[in-house]
Every structure is written in C-alpha cells, then in structure tokens.
Structure 1
C-alpha cells in the first residue's frame, strides 16, 4: 500500500520542479501561476499574481474555465512545501498540459528565501 509520501515521490519522477533560483524566471514566463493550497492558506500570504485553485478542485476548475483550457499554457504550480503541487503537476500532465512546472520547496521555501509575499490587507473598522 502506498502512502501520501510515496505518491508525491512517484509524481516527482515525472514532473519538472524548478529550484528557487529558477522560480522567478519560470513565474515571469508563465501564462498562469496557480497556488493549490486551501483558501485560508492563500489568505495568509501568496505569490503576487497567483490564482488560488485548491488541489481538490483543480482538474474540475481547469476543465470548466475556458481561459485555462489551452493545453499549451505555461503553468507554474506551488503549495506549502511542494507535495500537493507535485501531485497537481502530474495530474495536469495527464490531462494533456504540456508546459507545467512546480516550485521545489513550495511557498515555505519562497518565503524563507525572502521573496515577495502578498498579504491581503484587512479593512479598518475605526
């Protein structure tokens, strides 16, 4: 029986993960950057310009959103530590997406490297 870790490691063998050194260029070249974390995680901070499409609904959302349906889109994915993004990248490749990358280390590595993090501001109630 495979564990979640086994599934992630298996997915990593068939996807392209970009290092933190390559991440900026990959993001700049991407047609879409997708944060596959849950909405509450996204609200705590995310990469500028990223769309939040949680891992659990990713395939459905891509299938029902015409702007995201082109299989030649350049897609960069990330999650907290890169496990969900690896699984998402493998799924997108199975769906026929040809240019999918995942950020190694995920959002945690991004933030730890001192990269810019967008944190939505809360309205003032004063």
Structure 2
C-alpha cells in the first residue's frame, strides 16, 4: 500500500521542480502562479500575484475557467513545502498541460529566504 509520501515521491519524479534560486525568473515568465494550499494558509500570506486554488479543487477550477484552458499555459505551483504542489503539477500534466512547474521547498523555503509575500491588512477601527 502506498503512503502519501510515496505518492509525492512519484509525482516529484515526473514533474519539473524549480530551485528557489530560479523561482523569481520562472514566476515572471509564468502565465499563472497558483497557491495550492488551503484558504486559511493563503489568507495568512502568499506569494505576490498568486491565485488561490486549493489542491482539492485544482482540476475543477482549471476545467471551469476559460482563461486556463490552453494547454500551453506556463503554470508555476507552490504549497507549504512542495508535496501538494508536486501532486498538483502531476495532475495538471495528466490533464494535458505542457508547461507546469512546482516550487521546490514551497512557501516555507520562499519565506525563509526573505523573499516578498503579500499578507492581508488588518482593518483599523480607530
């Protein structure tokens, strides 16, 4: 029986992971940057310009959005540490997307390197 780690390892063996050093350029070249973490994780902070599509809804959101139907789109995905993003990248490849990349180390590696993120602003009631 396979574990979640087995599935992630298999996905990582078939998808292209971007090293953190190359991530900013890959994101600039991408047509879409997708955060596949859960909504509360995204709301706590995310890479600037990232669209939120939780891992569980990714295939449905890509299928339902005409702006995402081109299989030539350049897609960069990330999650907390890279497991969910690898699974998401493999799923998009299975759907026929040709230019899918996953950020190695995910959000945690990005923030540990001091790279910019967007956080929601807390409303002021003064």
Q: TM tier, shorter chain?
A: over 0.9
Once residues 69 and 50 of structure 1 are traced to their aligned partners in structure 2, the CA distance between those partners, rounded to angstroms, is: 18
Once residues 9 and 68 of structure 1 are traced to their aligned partners in structure 2, the CA distance between those partners, rounded to angstroms, is: 27
SS of 1:34's equivalent? strand
SS of 1:80's equivalent? coil
Tell whether 2:120 aligns with 1:115.
no
Name the counterpart of 1:25.
25
Q: Which runs of 5+ in 2 are unaligned?
A: none
Listed as ranges, the matches of 1:82-101 within 5 Å are: 82-101=82-101
Once residues 125 and 8 of structure 1 are traced to their aligned partners in structure 2, the CA distance between those partners, rounded to angstroms, is: 44
SS of 1:118's equivalent? coil
Q: Structure 1 stretches (4+) deviating beyond 4 angstroms?
A: none
Q: Which runs of 5+ in 1 are unaligned?
A: none
Once the two structures are superposed, residues 67-98 of structure 1 have per-residue CA deviations (whole angstroms, 9 ceiling, x without a partner) of 01110000000000000000000000000000
TM-score between both structures, scaled by the size of structure 1: 0.99
Tell whether 2:35 aligns with 1:35.
yes
Listed as ranges, the matches of 1:45-124 within 5 Å are: 45-124=45-124
Once residues 38 and 111 of structure 2 are traced to their aligned partners in structure 1, the CA distance between those partners, rounded to angstroms, is: 17
1:120 Cα deviation from its structure 2 partner: 1.0
Paired residue total: 126
1:122 Cα deviation from its structure 2 partner: 1.7
Once residues 68 and 53 of structure 1 are traced to their aligned partners in structure 2, the CA distance between those partners, rounded to angstroms, is: 12
